[in-house]
Amino acid sequence: MTQNTPASTPILINTAFDSGNIEVLSIDGAKARLAIVRDNQSEFAQWFHFRVSGIAGRELDLAITGLNGSAYPDGWPGYSACVSEDRQEWTRASSTFDRDREGGTLHIRHMPASDVVWFAYFAPYSMERHHELVSQAAASPGVTHRTLGLTLDGQPIDCLDLGEGPRQVWLYARQHPGETMAQWWMEGALDMLTDPADPHGRALRQACTFHIVPNCNPDGSVRGHLRTNAVGVNLNREWDAPSAERAPEVLAIRNAMDATGVDFAMDIHGDEAIPAVFIAGFEGIPSLTPEQLEGYRRYRALLDARTPDFQVRRGYTESAPGKGNLSMSTNQVAERFGAVAMTLEMPFKDNADLPDPVQGWSPERSKLLARDCLAALWQWIAFPEAG
């Protein structure tokens, strides 16, 4: 039975675990002033993940300060921190953002039922769970596992191949490690594609050969980074000329793509500020063809018609003709292979069109979205005039 802790007893805050990130500035009883630690050798800071204990019977009062200097300060208004007491179910804690307090402060108040609780920028996806995902998928009939290369910290870059169709489809996630919803999406995609009873999975395996990289940035994931690898490199700005010294992750993946070719590619991400699910394309690449653009727009229309969790009103501004940034994977893959490529973005906040005050955008919705994305891909292939 949990005993109430005296009000004056200081809480304990810890980050000594996979993807942990927070700096403790001060603690006074159940109150704490905190700051986010920047990615190694980088100015990016947004991801946090920490444990609080010694709190039974008290309301936590946490202030994460200095957020006007974070990577995406517009990500904090309207955002609520993720919280869990069992590390299985993640809900949202009462949170408010004050731009004028201590350089921008996210104020979190939460009354946990137990004596220990975890907070995170989004529901974490641990490397232990990653290995479980890879091992379970690799043991499924028709799935082949390969290691594309090693990271700077020596971690494997896992790739799962399945299907026997002629279309080469690449799905890859977590170039930006703090965007953990991307790997929850991957879990949903692999669940569908490895389920022998799922009709869309069966049809897609007949039509396509899939190459799936569930986590492009294991080093940043373990280190608690938002956006970069072990040496502070943003992988999604390395695709034009990746090097083994700066971005072996991108070099390994792009080399593997060169070996197979690419017909369709989806790079899975999360967006800090925009409260919606959307995709971004490759409109600015130098060799853009009408057929590529039509294929991209048709897929987007099919996904929009399929799920109310997707929309086309909010998103990024399209690049001007010939001005696409070829260091970004979607542009590079579309230019290099003539592929229909896209970046899928999910919110850290919530889907403003279908808000969930308890969970916000969640792992569960990320996994369901993956199924809709793949079902839309089957429709895109099977009915080329639809959309």
Supply the residues annotated as catalytic: 345
What distance lies between CA 234 and its chain's CA centroid?
Answer: 14
**∠330-294-167 over CA atoms, to 5°?**
65
> Mapping DSSP to helix (H, G, I), strand (E, B) and coil, where does residue 83 land?
strand
C-alpha–C-alpha distance, residues 375 and 60, integer Å? 43
**∠70-73-74 over CA atoms, to 5°?**
160
With beta carbons less than 8 A apart as the criterion, state whether 348 and 272 touch.
yes
> Mapping DSSP to helix (H, G, I), strand (E, B) and coil, where does residue 320 land?
coil
Q: Are strands 278-280 and 116-120 parallel, antiparallel or unpaired?
A: unpaired
With beta carbons less than 8 A apart as the criterion, state whether 66 and 83 touch.
no
**DSSP secondary structure letters along 305-365:** HH-TT--SSS-PPPPPTT---TTSHHHHHHHHH--EEEEEEEESS--TTS--TTTSS-HHH
With beta carbons less than 8 A apart as the criterion, state whether 216 and 172 touch.
yes
C-alpha–C-alpha distance, residues 122 and 267, integer Å? 19
Q: What's the length of the chain?
A: 387
Q: 55-73 burial, b if ≥16 CB within 10 A, otherwise e?
A: bbebebbbbbbbbeebbbb
> Mapping DSSP to helix (H, G, I), strand (E, B) and coil, where does residue 28 land?
strand
Tokens of 229: 């690898």
Strand partners, 267: 172, 343
Identify the burial level of 380 via C-beta atoms within 10 angstroms of its C-beta, where 0-12 means exposed, 13-18 middle and 19 or more buried. buried
C-alpha–C-alpha distance, residues 19 and 180, integer Å? 10
Q: Are strands 31-35 and 12-14 parallel, antiparallel or unpaired?
A: unpaired
Tokens of 99: 């731009």
With beta carbons less than 8 A apart as the criterion, state whether 73 and 104 touch.
yes
